[in-house]
Structure 1
Amino acid sequence: MGFLGDIGSFIMTPLFYAISGIMLGWHEVLSTFLDPEGGLSWALSIIGLTLVIRILLIPLFVKQIKSQRNMQLIQPKVKELQKKYGHDRQKLGEETMKLYKDAGTNPFASCLPLILQMPIFFALFRILDQAAKNQSGRGFLTDARATDFAESKIFGKIPISESFWEARVWGNAPDATVMIVAIILVLLMTATTFTTQRQLMSKNMPADAMSGPYAQQQKILLYVLPLVFGISGVAFPVGVLFYWTTSNLWTMGQQFYVIRNNPAPGTPAFKAKQDRDRAKGKLKTDEPGSVLTEPETESERRPATRQQPKRQTKAQRQSGQRPSGSPGGAPPNPNLTKKKQGGGR
Structure 2
Amino acid sequence: MSFILWCWHKVFGFVFGPDNAISWILGIVFLTFTVRGILFKPFVKQVRSMKKMQDFAPEVKKLQKKYANDRQKQATEMRKLQQEHGVNPLGSCLPMLLQIPVFIGLNWVLRNFQEGRPSNYFFDAAEVDSYVNAKLFGINIGDAINHFGFAGQSSEWHWEVAPLAIPLMIIAAIATHLTARHSVARQNPASASQQTAMMNNLTLYIFPFGVLIFGAFFPIGLLIYWLANNGWTLGQQRFVYGRIDREEEQKKLEDKEKRDNLAPKPGQKPKKPQPGQKPDPQKKQASKGAAGSADSTDTGTDNEAGSGTESGSESGKVSAQSSTGSANGSGGSQKSGGTKGGSSAKGGAWAKNGGNKQRPSGQGKKSKGGKRR
TM-score w.r.t. length of structure 1: 0.71
Q: Is the 8 A contact 2:114 2:132 kept in 1?
A: yes
- Correspondence for 2:143: 162
Q: Which of 290, 293, 300 is the equivalent residue of 1:331?
A: 293
Change (3 A) 1:161 1:196: same
What's 1:11 paired with?
Answer: none
Paired with 1:180 and 1:125, the residues of 2 have a C-alpha distance of 21
User: How far apart in 2 are the matches of 1:114 and 1:93?
Assistant: 24
Deviates more, 1:247-256 or 1:332-341: 332-341
Structure 1 contact 186–230 (Cα < 8 Å) conserved: yes
The residue type paired with residue 165 of structure 1 is N
Q: Deviations over 1:278-321 (max 9, x none)?
A: xxxx95894589xxxxxxxxxxxxx995437869xxxxxxxxxx
Spell out the pairing of 1:234-273 with structure 2 (5 A cutoff): 234-263=216-245
The answer to whether residue 144 in structure 2 is matched with residue 180 in structure 1 is no
Q: Is the 8 A contact 1:130 1:137 kept in 2?
A: no
Would the aligned equivalents of 2:144 and 2:220 in 1 still touch at CA under 8 Å? yes
Cα deviation, residue 165, structure 1: 2.9
Amino acid at match of 2:299: T
Larger radius of gyration: 2
Residues 109-134 of structure 1 show CA distances to partners (whole Å, capped at 9, x for unaligned) of 33322221221211211122121366
SS of 1:256 mapped into structure 2: helix
Partner of 1:86: 68
The offset of 1:136, in angstroms, is 5.0
- Whether the aligned pair in 1 keeps the contact of 2:141 and 2:221 (CA below 8 Å) is yes
Question: In structure 1, what is the equivalent of residue 99 of structure 2?
Answer: 117
From the superposition, tell whether residues 108 and 287 of structure 1 become closer, same or farther in structure 2 (CA, over 3 Å): same
Are 1:307 and 2:280 matched, yes or no? yes
1:55 to 15, 29, 37: 37
> 1:39/1:122 Cα in 2 relative to 1: closer, same or farther (>3 Å)?
same
Q: 1:161 to 1:288 in 2, by over 3 A?
A: farther
For 2:112 and 2:142, the matched residues in 1 are separated by 10
The answer to whether the 8 Å contact 2:145/2:159 transfers is no
Contact 2:168-2:224 within 8 A present in 1 as well? yes
Secondary structure, counterpart of 2:159 in structure 1: coil
Is the counterpart of residue 233 in structure 1 residue 209 in structure 2? no
Aligned-partner SS, 1:27: helix
Q: Is the 8 A contact 1:127 1:137 kept in 2?
A: no
2-side partners of 1:325 and 1:58: how far apart?
71
Deviations 1:66-86 (A, max 9, x none): 221121112111011112112
Q: TM-score, normalised by structure 2?
A: 0.66
CA RMSD of aligned residues (A): 3.5
Deviations along 1:86-145, one digit per CA (max 9) or x if unpaired, are 222222122112222332323343332222122121121112212136645321112331
Deviation at 1:224, TM superposition (A): 3.0
Structure number with higher relative contact order (C-alpha < 8 Å, ≥ 6 residues apart): 1
Deviation of 1:233 (Å): 1.6
Shift of 1:226: 2.2
* SS of corresponding position for 2:114: helix
Distance across 2 between alignment mates of 1:69 and 1:264: 14
Q: How many residue pairs were aligned?
A: 284
Measured after TM superposition, the shift of residue 51 of structure 1 is: 1.2
Cα distance between partner residues in 2 of 1:145 and 1:47: 18
- 1:145 is aligned to 2:109: no
Shift of 1:210: 2.8
Counterpart of 1:344, as a letter, is Q
Corresponding residue for residue 3 of structure 1: none
Aligned pairs for 1:197-216 (under 5 A) are 197-202=180-185, 204-211=186-193, 213-216=195-198
Distance of 2:144 and 2:32 partners within structure 1: 19
Q: Which runs of 5+ in 1 are unaligned?
A: 1-18, 290-302, 312-321
8 Å Cα contact 1:205/1:264 also seen in 2: no
- Return the alpha-carbon distance in structure 2 between the equivalents of residues 161 and 207 of structure 1: 44
Q: Distance in 1 between matches of 2:245 and 2:212?
A: 30
Q: What corresponds to 1:98 in structure 2?
A: 80
Contact 2:147 2:218 in 1 (8 A): no
- Once residues 147 and 287 of structure 1 are traced to their aligned partners in structure 2, the CA distance between those partners, rounded to angstroms, is 66
* CA distance, structure 2, for counterparts of residue 94 and residue 64 of structure 1: 23
**Cα distance change of structure 1 residues 208 and 189 upon mapping to structure 2, 3 Å threshold:** same
